[in-house]
Structure 1
């Protein structure tokens, strides 16, 4: 079951086997959760602010190193990334940042966003990728912050049952900083 926006329309997917009463109860809850998530995003700065920041980071950090760089087509906050801080799909130039980054310092959010932007130039975690990312003055500091944050979170909740990679669109190899090893 899920709810998402398709333009101005809210789309809700539920199993066909549900009764009408169950369906209505779940639809109401999913729509309420979606609207609350959108309200939080507006209150904290939404996707438009992320796109603006992405373009600034491109101009400041990547254009001087590689010349002209096409900006991402979309940069969004997402709530479904529990093991990654961000992910990028270079083929369609989309970037997703975990909403867990929202309360973190701006220089940490910038590092993760820049990490994903570098994937638009260099899809894999190659030596060139690391050289481009190393130009960000706070890269080591931000990686340390994220590693410390992830370690503290694991101490609070304990290790996940399966600490291996997940199968799914946001956990493909080389698509973003992971909690266990950002920037590697």
Structure 2
């Protein structure tokens, strides 16, 4: 979980109508009938990848779940250097995706993130973890954040979501 899905489509002559999908490591495997058109395949792949990712997102609903995810991301992208004291979901963030208080090493994530793809949630966690190493949004801070391979795509996703929902980020904090 956490990375953009690598998708493998398997066509089967024995399948007549059913389509199914499952996660195999970092890959999502989509099983479709061999007779399906390219257009139908594209539609079903999008639908089934979204379904698998939605079921995986439900795993990150508790504070314990995001703690474990943050620890994994901290190890992978920060070598364990960005250790928070706490990370939790909050309902009171209406214009920010997350916030970090370096002084007490606490991180808060907006509950608005919960239905979003896991790689977007991971980006916000990485962004807030980076604040434990660099409080501001300077060059060094972005150097840490850009270790996450989907940082730019996730920022674009969040900007698009904000625009569609007509929720503007706070001035000067467009990335928080």
Q: TM-score range by the shorter chain?
A: 0.5 to 0.7
CA distance in 2, matches of 1:131, 1:44: 26
CA distance in 1, matches of 2:120, 2:90: 17
Q: Determine helix, strand or coil for the equivalent of 2:89.
A: strand
Segments of structure 2 that go 5 or more residues without pairing to the other structure are 1-57
- Structure 1 equivalent of residue 75 of structure 2: 59
Q: Determine helix, strand or coil for the equivalent of 1:114.
A: helix
CA distance in 1, matches of 2:170, 2:100: 20
> Which structure shows the bigger proportion of residues in helix conformation?
1
Determine which of 93, 96, 100 is the counterpart of 2:112. 100
- Structure 1 equivalent of residue 66 of structure 2: 50
| Structure 1 residues 56 and 89, CA gap change in structure 2 (3 angstroms) | same
- Structure 2 equivalent of residue 142 of structure 1: 154
CA distance in 2, matches of 1:59, 1:43: 20
Q: Determine helix, strand or coil for the equivalent of 2:148.
A: coil
Equivalent residues, number: 119
Segments of structure 1 that go 5 or more residues without pairing to the other structure are 1-41, 166-172
CA distance in 1, matches of 2:61, 2:92: 18
Q: Does 1:123 align with 2:135?
A: yes
Residue 71 of structure 1: CA displacement? 1.4
Q: Determine helix, strand or coil for the equivalent of 1:60.
A: helix
| Structure 1 residues 164 and 81, CA gap change in structure 2 (3 angstroms) | closer
| Structure 1 residues 50 and 164, CA gap change in structure 2 (3 angstroms) | closer
